[in-house]
Amino acid sequence: MPLVDYANPTRFLALQRRLAPVLALVTAVLFVIGLVLVFRSPADYQQGETVRIMYIHVPSAWLSMLTYAIMTASALGTLVWRHPLADVAARAAAPIGAAFTFMALITGSLWGRPMWGTYWEWDARLTSVLILFLMYLGLMALWRTLEDPARGARLAAILILVGSINLPIIKFSVDWWNTLHQPASVFRLGGPTIDASMLVPLFVMAAAFTTLLFSLHLAAMRNEILRRRLRTLGLLAAGGAR
Amino acid sequence: MSPFLGPYTGFIVLSYGLAALVIAALIVWIGVDHARLKRRLADLEARGLRRRSATPPEA
């Protein structure tokens, strides 16, 4: 079946039902392998055991941005192609993105205190990630505020696209400004600066977090479709009662 | 402090604990939301309400 056929919500729900157990199993297996590798990996020569916070902080931070990138693609789908599932995808992703961003901020803070001597610093990287978190919260508030879903979808899509300017700012903030945060050490032109003994567990944990994101996102999209069906039936019931 | 995780054990354990808590909260929230939506949909359908697209075409 062509991919475009899954734009139909009923077909999407059938696909989600089939994929959910597979994704959940893959996620669980990846987390078990990842955590075993994390706690068998060596301590860092400078940071000691504290480096273990990296294995949850870095994937959370990556996914906080990946989720917003998914929402940006969905916003284009809403505005340009009027894809029936685009707004569903964006709306379902926002709370998950907010949770991953919250996790990145908290674990970063807990990593920063022993390494930098402070929980928080108003530098470019930390502040731009905080702005990302506030954008997620703002979008969720916007969707809840507007009664008309079509109008809400368009307004949210515009706001998401405007907010996407924050993604390159987050990524390059450590290069453009002086910050406490270390520069990129995995995805950089010269290759990773992290030893393979730490890089492999980091990638396995990142894969576990990514499959977790897809599992949760598909389930949240299913809920959003059901919520819209419920709204339609609620309107029909209200119309019939009149 | 723990000889296993060094002098900053508390920070490491708290990071993993909070991450687990956030992930668990997301899973529970999505599951509870799904159960609530299904129950409310079933209630409305039991009252004979159907979306147009869910109504089988008449023979």
A91: closest CA among A117, A67, A119, A112? A67
Residue B53 falls in which region: left (phi positive, over 0), alpha (psi -120 to 50) or beta: alpha
Query: What pLDDT score was predicted for residue A147?
Result: 76
**Does the beta-carbon distance from B38 to A53 stay under 8 Å?**
no
**Does the beta-carbon distance from B41 to A106 stay under 8 Å?**
no
A42: closest CA among A203, A199, A174, A237? A199
Query: What pLDDT score was predicted for residue A1?
Result: 56
Confidence check: pLDDT of B2 > 60: no
- Computed over every residue of chain A, the mean pLDDT equals 90
How far is the alpha carbon of A99 from chain B, nearest alpha carbon, in Å? Answer: 7
pLDDT in tens, A164-216: 999 999 999 888 888 778 777 777 777 777 888 899 999 999 999 999 999 99
Four-residue CA torsion sign, A94, A82, A167, A53: positive
| Chain B contact present for A53, CB below 8 A | yes
Nearest CA in chain A to B2: A49
Confidence check: pLDDT of B16 > 90: yes
Question: Residue B59's pLDDT band (boundaries 50, 70, 90)?
Answer: very low
- Which residue among A107, A110, A223 sits closest to B37, beta carbon to beta carbon? A223
- Which residue among A43, A222, A229 sits closest to B41, beta carbon to beta carbon? A229
**Does the beta-carbon distance from A233 to B41 stay under 8 Å?**
yes
Query: What pLDDT score was predicted for residue B1?
Result: 38
Complex ipTM above 0.85?
A: yes
pLDDT in tens, A71-105: 999 999 999 988 879 999 999 999 999 999 999 99
How far is the alpha carbon of A51 from chain B, nearest alpha carbon, in Å? Answer: 9
Confidence check: pLDDT of B58 > 60: no
- Which residue among B19, B38, B49 sits closest to A226, beta carbon to beta carbon? B38
A127: closest CA among A111, A105, A154? A105
**Does the beta-carbon distance from B37 to A230 stay under 8 Å?**
yes
For residue A182, count other CB atoms closer than 10 A to its CB. 10
- Residues facing A48 on adjacent strands: A44
Query: What pLDDT score was predicted for residue B38?
Result: 95
Look-up of token digits 């959940």: A24
d(CA A221, CA A170): 27
- Which residue among B14, B26, B38 sits closest to A110, beta carbon to beta carbon? B14
Best B4, B12, B34 member to test A by mutation, with max A CBs in 10 Å, is B12
Nearest CA in chain B to A113: B11
Nearest CA in chain A to B44: A233
**Does the beta-carbon distance from A111 to B11 stay under 8 Å?**
yes
Least confident of A43-52, A91-100, B46-55: B46-55
Do the beta carbons of residue A175 and residue A183 sit within 8 Å? yes
In what helix (H) or strand (E) does residue A138 lie, and over which residues does it extend?
helix A124-145
- Which residue among B8, B41, B53 sits closest to A226, beta carbon to beta carbon? B41
Higher-confidence residue of B2 and B33: namely B33
Taking each continuous run of H as one helix and of E as one strand, the counts in chain A are 7, 0
Share of chain A above pLDDT 90, in %: 66
